[in-house]
Structure 1
Amino acid sequence: KRKMIYGCQYQKRKGLLEKTGNYELTDIKDFLKSVKTKSIFIGDGANLYSADIRSSSKCSSIYQDRVGFPQVKYVFPLVYEKFQRKAYEDPAALIPIYLYPEDCQVKKKAV
């Protein structure tokens, strides 16, 4: 384990989550240094690095279950607002986000 996480920071504004930074693959310690306020941590990394997170003084809560994973009731308000404005995304223009093996130390299994 290299203590690397893939994450992003969000802030709740007007009842909705707004992304406040870029997605990043970074060391858990560096990620915690970039957190400015008490925060809620979710996802697999929150469980894996809970000791680091709790000792950082930036932790308000850690959700180790899948309680924070996207559900329609949370995603729908974000999508519906764009839908009403006819702000559609062109599927052909979407750019996938890839994590490369050399970035995250993924080893392929021998067949």
Structure 2
Amino acid sequence: MNTLAIDTSTRTLSLALAIDGKCVSYRNFVLNRRMADAIVPHITAFLRRRGLGLDDIGAVVAGRGPGSFTSLRVGVATVKGLCFGRDIPVAGIPSPDAVAAAVAATLGKTDPKLCVISDARRGLLYAATYRIEEGRPLAAGSCQLLPWKELRRQLTKPVVFAGDGVTLHREDIVKAFGPDAALTDPKFVTPQARYLLPAGLAAIKDGRAADAATLEPLYLYAEDCQVRP
């Protein structure tokens, strides 16, 4: 089965393709134009490189956010358009899980707590905390929307941080948790679709995937709040 993974929670459009459960291709595109104008052409070209078209996709793994309102809406709408009428299952995965999976795959089997943070604007962060066991990230709660000071009060050493919020709060992280707590490797900054695949493929295999009608973005701000990237 051909499985397409997609994340649009940031300005980066991230795509990955798995064939029979193995990731065979991935690309990340930093977009200089509107996501709505770019997403379908990029997906089409990405698949064409493997000799595939949209009708060859048998399942979709989609990053649900949180993140950019507009980009998430466009991404979810695109997934719905791809899946409707084709009876394609879709697994929605929180986007921070991709960053957590990248960290877990790199750091080893057992490490300190991990907190993935991203800039939510207005002085707030999106934050998701994990523990890493046997090389896999296990969520230690739901994603939160909160200021750094509140997040700092919730966490204790040892903990490491990843995500684009690390750049924003690097000095705070180092001061509170030490110089090794801030992870700055590029693959730990934005969610990459290839790291959504393991959780998404497992959900599809276990029957936990859904149809496109039930896929919704993960918004932590009020729905009428307009915060632009």
TM-score under structure 1 length normalisation: 0.72
In the superposition, relative to structure 1, how do residues 95 and 71 fare at CA in structure 2: closer, same or farther (>3 Å)? closer
Unaligned runs of 5+ in 1: none
Work out the CA distance in 2 between the residues paired with 1:58 and 1:95: 37
Q: Residue 59 of structure 1: CA displacement? A: 6.6
Q: Residue 57 of structure 1: CA displacement? A: 2.5
Secondary structure at the counterpart of residue 96 of structure 1: coil
Q: Identity of aligned pairs, percent?
A: 25
In the superposition, relative to structure 1, how do residues 55 and 8 fare at CA in structure 2: closer, same or farther (>3 Å)? same
Alignment correspondent of 2:112: none
Work out the CA distance in 2 between the residues paired with 1:20 and 1:34: 12
Larger RCO (CA within 8 A; separation ≥ 6):
2
Q: Give 2:204's match in structure 1, choosing from 62, 79, 83.
A: 83
Unaligned runs of 5+ in 2: 1-120
Deviation per residue, 1:44-97 (Å, 9 max, x gap): 211111111111127743123432133354322222222222221232223322
Q: Residue 7 of structure 1: CA displacement? A: 1.4
CA RMSD of aligned residues (A): 2.9
In proportion to residue count, which structure has more strand? 2
Q: Is the 8 A contact 1:9 1:21 kept in 2?
A: yes
Q: Give 1:50's match in structure 2, choosing from 170, 175, 179.
A: 170
State which drifts further: 86-95 or 16-25.
Answer: 86-95
Q: Is the 8 A contact 1:8 1:21 kept in 2?
A: yes
Whichever residue aligns with residue 132 of structure 2, its letter is: K
1:70 aligned onto 2:224: no
Q: Is the 8 A contact 2:173 2:181 kept in 1?
A: no
TM-score under structure 2 length normalisation: 0.39
